[in-house]
Amino acid sequence: METNISTVQVVLMGLITVFVVLICLIVIIKILGLIMEKVAKKQPAPAAAPVAAAPAAAPAPAVSAQNNQQIVAAIAVAIAEEMGTDVSHIRIHSIKRI
């Protein structure tokens, strides 16, 4: 009879330990989330400035015109998403492979 009680106690202690640790992780993640939100609010928003690429180390391979337009469109969308603006506000003057 004593063996069954100790087995039940071990199972309950294991379950309690797991749930206490999970609750602690949830609390820690919530606190870190609040800290990150405060840090993000303190940082100024990036100014909408033209994006300039670094000079290329080697010449870029020839790309077809249609493929080039797709690349420019993808880069413009990525920049607009990062800056939080509309794609129509992005003007790309040149793109150089680095």
Query: Amino acid letter at 49?
Result: A
Length of the chain: 98
pLDDT at 75 (0 to 100): 86
Whole-angstrom Cα distance, residue 19 to residue 9?
15
Per-residue pLDDT tens digits for 3-44: 567 888 999 999 999 999 999 999 999 999 999 999 888 876
**CA of 67: how far to CAs of 29, 60, 63, in Å?**
43, 14, 6
pLDDT tens profile 35-71: 999 988 887 666 655 555 555 555 555 556 667 788 8
